[in-house]
C-alpha cells in the first residue's frame, strides 16, 4: 500500500485550509497514494476564539468534503482531525475521521489526552476548550489493513 502524509499550514481560514487540503490530497492520490492522512486540525487552527468560531459538526463542510473526495478519488482518507462542535457538550472535540473508498465514515476518534502544559512560561490548556474522548479506535483500510487513529 502506498500512503501519503499531507502537511499544510492551517490557519483560522477554513476555506483556505480546505482548498490546500484538496489540492494536496489530489496530488497524493495522483501519485499513487491509496491512503492519505491529513494533519491535526487541518480545517481550522488558531487560538481559542478561532477554534470556537471555526468548529463544525461531523456533518459540516470539512467531513463532507473528506467523504466526497475519498469517494471521488477511490482512497482511504484520514481527516487528521477537525475542531468538532458536538451537540452534547459545551466544549469542542479534537476529532479524527477515517473515510473509506465509498465515502462512508469508517471510524471516529476523539483525542483522549489533552495537551495541558507550561512551556517557557507559556501555558497551553487544551482542556479549557476541548473535551477528552474516552475510546481507543482501530479501523481498517479497503485492503484490510488495520489502521489505528490517534492525535498528538
48, 49, 72, 152: which is the annotated catalytic residue?
A: 152
Number of Cβ within 10 Å of residue 29's Cβ equals 21
108 φ/ψ angles, rounded to the nearest 5 degrees: -130, 125
34, 41, 111, 131: which is the annotated catalytic residue?
A: 111
Q: Residues 139, 107: contact at Cβ < 8 Å? A: yes
Q: Is 130 a catalytic residue?
A: no
Contacting residues for 30 by C-beta, under 8 A, at least 6 apart: none
Q: Is 140 a catalytic residue?
A: no
SS3 126: helix
Q: Is 91 a catalytic residue?
A: no
Q: Distance between CA atoms of 30 and 28, rounded to whole angstroms?
A: 5
82 φ/ψ angles, rounded to the nearest 5 degrees: -125, 160
H-assigned helices in the chain: 14-30, 48-54, 61-73
Segment (H or E) for 98: strand 92-99
Catalytic positions, please? Answer: 40, 111, 152
Amino acid at each position: 500500500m502506498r500512503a501519503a502524509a499531507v502537511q499544510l499550514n492551517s490557519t483560522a481560514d477554513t476555506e483556505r485550509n480546505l482548498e490546500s487540503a484538496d489540492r494536496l490530497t489530489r496530488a497524493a492520490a495522483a501519485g499513487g497514494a491509496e491512503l492519505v492522512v491529513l494533519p491535526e486540525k487541518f480545517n481550522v487552527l488558531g487560538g481559542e476564539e478561532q477554534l470556537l468560531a471555526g468548529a463544525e459538526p461531523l456533518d459540516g463542510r470539512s467531513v463532507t468534503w473528506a467523504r466526497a473526495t475519498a469517494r471521488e478519488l477511490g482512497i482511504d482518507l484520514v481527516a487528521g482531525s477537525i475542531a468538532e462542535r458536538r451537540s452534547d457538550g459545551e466544549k469542542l472535540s479534537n476529532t479524527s475521521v477515517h473515510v473509506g473508498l465509498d465515502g462512508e465514515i469508517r471510524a471516529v476518534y476523539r483525542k483522549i489526552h489533552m495537551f495541558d502544559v507550561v512551556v517557557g512560561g507559556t501555558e497551553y490548556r487544551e482542556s479549557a476548550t476541548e473535551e477528552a474522548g474516552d475510546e481507543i479506535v482501530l479501523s481498517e483500510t479497503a485492503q484490510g489493513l488495520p489502521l489505528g487513529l490517534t492525535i498528538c
